[in-house]
Chains A and B, each alone.
Chain A
């Protein structure tokens, strides 16, 4: 038997060691590697030269013209802005669809709720690539939506739904919708419905019960769901590639392209660092709301 150290602080650290090991090996080390690579020189044949360079970061906003002058190049900035914009849009779409679904499930008798939750998780059984590909059949030329409309003469020409920002948003929202529904359901399920009665007793009508009681009290789930949709949307590349046709690059696709095709590892790593920055900002907002909530519940 191993005798445990008496000192309680040492014991705490020892107890936490496995967790730190996992976080260290699987998170901190890879991120540190990326950070290091982003500050190296690119090797045109893949990999890196071990020379310090900030070229990769400069490249995000500038390029060299024919006379070797640095000039502003908005192409990557646009990709970053479009990624953030479409991710936010996808998050909003998920919230608008996900909240009513989660609320509906909460109103079902307890015996039926698990069945609905089970239905929500069914899409996870199939590969995301295949599920996203099926959206091409739905949205595409002569697809499920267009064909009946063309046949009945409602439209004369293709709607050109594919390869648009809209198609990408639909794909992203579809991919991550369950991640919005589940946390919202978790917090709605814990909601004390006597509070709804109390609000109604105190002259609140339906809309006010929703906005003043139910939504504020399910905020933890709403914020968590938004994080769970927004963060992977930023880095997604399957939906943007398939539904955006690879023409409308997003951050995730760009990183994947730089590593796999363009063989510019430092630039790919630099873009990944930018991506990480947006994720960290989102997580900081999340942490702030969690702190505020702890204050409300009087745990501090």
Chain B
């Protein structure tokens, strides 16, 4: 499969030679496949928007190359790149109707009038705005403006669609609905989507692959499942969802198991060995929903005794903070069942089970 977008060793420094010199991207290489829904995920200031602006052509890289379907984009202005952008604040033209906004790109490309009209109609149908074609942007709700921005960017048939936090200005319900819709539109049109967000839930639910970024560097690239279950470092593990981190030393090896002893003196078995030596300091990582809670148990069977410190009820699940009897505090999450048999109250004693498959050793 041909590569959609390739970024090679991109460095972007703003304010070169001034006292405000800032390196927004530090040697970033990315390969985004054709027809992929690719997400750049990271906290604000991590360089994800800069990356998007470099692909669009609004900024030029200080060093490095960007290739679009194998073609070098060097010094090409935005209007000569087959890439369109959905802007964070939509940037709709206020003096034009919805239909004129959507037709803008097609008209600049000098498409014949009947073809333009047909495409505009088709695009407005795709985003379900057919009956609002003659409205002005100011007469639309935020969600509707969002759809116009999407239709306007899709209309010229770009090879790559760039989306800069397009859902961040919408309320929760609308945002969740738009996620599904965006994903569906991407599948229908077959256009490569590059989506920028700081919302991990958005990234996990829509993407084919995610690049997690921080401080101008790519931390990890992988499928949502890979990123969530096998984070390469503590930053990724922490940024994507909640996590428990348990410092430990490697005490020995069993068949495809690593035997670790925690600082508090407990022994935990971890599946998969990696290249570790006895005595290495490691960080064990555990997702809260993988912690199993029991009312009864024996510590000998691998269950650890503890006490509930805090309870936060979320409706579909409940989150607990549990202090184990060695003093370690861990987070656990449990689905709420109909009979309430698995619900614990603050102060209640319980037993915690941590399976060998659920623990991971994190790289430092």
Identify the A interface with B (CB < 8 A). Answer: 192, 194-195, 197-205, 208, 212-213, 216-217, 296-299
Select from chain A the residue with minimum beta-carbon distance to B162: A201
1/0 per residue B86-108: CB within 8 Å of A?
01010111110000000011001
**How distant is the Cα of A29 from the Cα of B277 in the complex, in angstroms?**
100
Select from chain B the residue with minimum beta-carbon distance to A192: B91
Would you list the 6 A-B pairs with minimal beta carbon distance, nearest first? A298-B138, A202-B105, A203-B108, A198-B91, A194-B91, A298-B139
Given contacts A208-B108, A217-B94, A298-B138, contact A202 B87 (CB under 8 A): no
A205: B residues at CB distance < 8 A? 79, 108
Q: Please tell me if B264 contacts chain A, counting CB pairs below 8 Å.
A: no
Picked from B93, B138, B153, B156, the residue with its CB within 8 Å of the CB of A195 is B93
Within 8 A of A (CB), among B313-329: none
**How distant is the Cα of A299 from the Cα of B58 in the complex, in angstroms?**
33
B57: A residues at CB distance < 8 A? 201
**How distant is the Cα of A199 from the Cα of B156 in the complex, in angstroms?**
13
Q: Please tell me if B261 contacts chain A, counting CB pairs below 8 Å.
A: no
Q: Please tell me if B345 contacts chain A, counting CB pairs below 8 Å.
A: no
Other than the given A200-B79, A203-B109, 10 more pairs (CB < 8 A) read A197-B85, A200-B78, A201-B79, A201-B84, A202-B105, A203-B80, A203-B156, A205-B108, A217-B95, A296-B136
Q: Please tell me if B152 contacts chain A, counting CB pairs below 8 Å.
A: yes
B77: A residues at CB distance < 8 A? 200
B136: A residues at CB distance < 8 A? 296-298
Asked if A203 contacts B105 (CB within 8 A), the reply is yes
Asked if B108 contacts A202 (CB within 8 A), the reply is yes
**How distant is the Cα of A180 from the Cα of B152 in the complex, in angstroms?**
35
25 interchain pairs (CB within 8 A)? A192-B91, A194-B91, A197-B78, A198-B92, A199-B104, A200-B58, A200-B77, A200-B78, A200-B79, A201-B79, A201-B83, A201-B84, A201-B153, A202-B108, A203-B80, A203-B109, A203-B156, A205-B108, A208-B108, A216-B95, A217-B94, A217-B95, A296-B95, A296-B138, A297-B94
Q: Please tell me if B56 contacts chain A, counting CB pairs below 8 Å.
A: yes
Within 8 A of A (CB), among B23-54: none
**How distant is the Cα of A205 from the Cα of B109 in the complex, in angstroms?**
10
Given contacts A203-B79, A297-B138, A298-B136, contact A198 B108 (CB under 8 A): no
Select from chain B the residue with minimum beta-carbon distance to A196: B91
B56: A residues at CB distance < 8 A? 201
| Interface majority SS (helix, strand, loop, mixed), chain A | helix
1/0 per residue B301-314: CB within 8 Å of A?
00000000000000
Asked if B79 contacts A204 (CB within 8 A), the reply is yes
Asked if A197 contacts B94 (CB within 8 A), the reply is no
B78: A residues at CB distance < 8 A? 197, 200-201
**How distant is the Cα of A205 from the Cα of B78 in the complex, in angstroms?**
9
**How distant is the Cα of A245 from the Cα of B190 in the complex, in angstroms?**
74
Number of interface residues of B (CB under 8 A): 27
Asked if B95 contacts A198 (CB within 8 A), the reply is no
**How distant is the Cα of A194 from the Cα of B56 in the complex, in angstroms?**
13
Identify the B interface with A (CB < 8 A). Answer: 56-58, 77-80, 83-85, 87, 89, 91-95, 104-105, 108-109, 136, 138-139, 152-153, 156
Asked if B87 contacts A204 (CB within 8 A), the reply is no
A201: B residues at CB distance < 8 A? 56-58, 78-79, 83-85, 153
Asked if B108 contacts A194 (CB within 8 A), the reply is no
Picked from B84, B138, B139, the residue with its CB within 8 Å of the CB of A202 is B84
**How distant is the Cα of A203 from the Cα of B87 in the complex, in angstroms?**
15
Asked if A204 contacts B108 (CB within 8 A), the reply is yes
Asked if A202 contacts B152 (CB within 8 A), the reply is yes
B108: A residues at CB distance < 8 A? 202-205, 208
A296: B residues at CB distance < 8 A? 94-95, 136, 138
Q: Which of A194, A197, A201, A297 is the most central at the interface, judged by chain B CB atoms within 10 Å of its CB?
A: A201
- Kindly provide the distance from the CB of B239 to the nearest chain A CB, expressed in whole angstroms: 28
A212: B residues at CB distance < 8 A? 104
- Kindly provide the distance from the CB of B96 to the nearest chain A CB, expressed in whole angstroms: 8
- Kindly provide the distance from the CB of A295 to the nearest chain B CB, expressed in whole angstroms: 8
A213: B residues at CB distance < 8 A? 93
Asked if B156 contacts A202 (CB within 8 A), the reply is yes
B104: A residues at CB distance < 8 A? 199, 202, 204, 212
A204: B residues at CB distance < 8 A? 79, 104, 108
Given contacts A201-B56, A205-B79, A217-B94, contact A194 B87 (CB under 8 A): yes
Select from chain A the residue with minimum beta-carbon distance to B82: A203
- Kindly provide the distance from the CB of B282 to the nearest chain A CB, expressed in whole angstroms: 47
Asked if A194 contacts B89 (CB within 8 A), the reply is yes
B105: A residues at CB distance < 8 A? 202-203
Picked from B83, B91, B92, B109, the residue with its CB within 8 Å of the CB of A197 is B91
B79: A residues at CB distance < 8 A? 200-205
Q: Which of A202, A203, A204, A299 is the most central at the interface, judged by chain B CB atoms within 10 Å of its CB?
A: A202
A298: B residues at CB distance < 8 A? 136, 138-139
Picked from A197, A202, A203, A217, the residue with its CB within 8 Å of the CB of B58 is A197
**How distant is the Cα of A203 from the Cα of B57 in the complex, in angstroms?**
12
- Kindly provide the distance from the CB of B337 to the nearest chain A CB, expressed in whole angstroms: 49
Select from chain B the residue with minimum beta-carbon distance to A213: B93
**How distant is the Cα of A255 from the Cα of B69 in the complex, in angstroms?**
72
Select from chain A the residue with minimum beta-carbon distance to B135: A298
**How distant is the Cα of A198 from the Cα of B87 in the complex, in angstroms?**
8
Q: Which of B83, B94, B139 is the most central at the interface, judged by chain A CB atoms within 10 Å of its CB?
A: B94
Select from chain A the residue with minimum beta-carbon distance to B139: A298
- Kindly provide the distance from the CB of B148 to the nearest chain A CB, expressed in whole angstroms: 12
A208: B residues at CB distance < 8 A? 108
A194: B residues at CB distance < 8 A? 87, 89, 91
